[in-house]
């Protein structure tokens, strides 16, 4: 199966600045999930998007699924030091195969 | 209990050793997974067990042998590993539906000498 492409690979921001990571696919995605992995930690599920054009919010985090279901984004407003980590998008292919994007590593200058 | 536990946390083994990684969940999940994660890379799926049966093997070398003794336990038996097999091995579980979040354990950091 195709792998979703995720950009940027790294992002360094000042605390309080916004942050966005993007996932793109050449084929239509059945769904997209987002995970966060803190340094030295394990992936933790954030959200799943299934519907075309879907937008979901969790406090300062906004998740979008493109109208064509070929792209998705995660936007964090006013970053805090607790947001540090690597953010992965992932698609479930077939029945249960979760395929991760390359991830965006976020570092924050306090 | 919404936790996936893994033991050991760290493991150092020689290329001739045999060792096992263990994973346990008590969430009633019917799907369990093994992933391998190298530094600064995303997790890569190795195996999927669904209702205690192996449903996906991502062409993993036979020196990795999974086992699912019951719906709560998942083992990964290791034998004759290579240094390039050094990585973080993550276990995960999910309800078993075709979609839905996966709950990851803290992982076992494996070093092969």
Specify the higher pLDDT residue, A35 or B97.
Answer: A35
Q: What is the pLDDT of residues A22-67, one digit of tens each?
A: 999 999 999 999 999 999 999 999 999 999 999 999 999 999 999 9
Q: Tell me whether residues B42 and A33 touch, CB distance under 8 A.
A: no
Taking the Cβ of residue A103 and every Cβ of chain B, the question of whether any pair is shorter than 8 Å is answered with yes
Q: What is the pLDDT of residues B44-89, one digit of tens each?
A: 999 999 999 999 999 999 999 999 999 999 999 999 999 999 999 9
Quote the mean pLDDT of chain B: 94
Give how far the C-alpha of residue B112 lies from the chain's centroid of Cα atoms, to the nearest Å: 16
Residues of A whose CB is below 8 A from B99 = 30-31, 48, 50, 92
Taking the Cβ of residue A44 and every Cβ of chain B, the question of whether any pair is shorter than 8 Å is answered with yes
Residues of B whose CB is below 8 A from A102 = 41-42
Long-range contacts of A53-61 (CB under 8 A, 24+ apart): none
Strands A97-100 and A104-109: unpaired
């Amino acid at each position: 199966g195709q792998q979703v492409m995720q950009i940027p690979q790294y992002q360094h921001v000042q605390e309080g600045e916004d942050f966005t990571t993007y996932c793109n696919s050449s084929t239509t995605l059945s769904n997209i999930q987002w995970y966060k992995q803190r340094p030295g930690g394990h992936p933790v599920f954030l959200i799943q998007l299934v519907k075309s054009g879907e937008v979901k919010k969790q406090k300062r985090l906004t998740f979008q699924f493109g109208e064509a279901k070929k792209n998705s984004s995660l936007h964090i407003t006013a970053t805090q030091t607790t947001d540090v980590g690597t953010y992965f998008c992932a698609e479930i292919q077939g029945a249960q195969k979760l395929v991760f994007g390359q991830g965006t590593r976020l570092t924050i200058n306090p | 209990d919404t936790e996936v536990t893994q033991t050991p946390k760290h493991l150092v083994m020689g290329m001739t050793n045999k060792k096992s990684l263990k994973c346990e969940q008590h969430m009633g999940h019917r799907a369990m997974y093994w992933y391998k994660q190298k530094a600064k890379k995303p997790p890569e799926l190795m195996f999927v067990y669904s209702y205690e049966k192996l449903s996906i093997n991502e062409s993993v070398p036979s020196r990795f042998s999974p086992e699912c003794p019951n719906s709560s336990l998942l083992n990964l038996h290791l034998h004759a590993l290579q240094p390039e097999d050094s990585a973080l091995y993550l276990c995960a579980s999910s309800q078993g539906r075709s979609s839905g979040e996966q709950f990851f354990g803290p992982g076992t950091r494996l070093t092969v000498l």
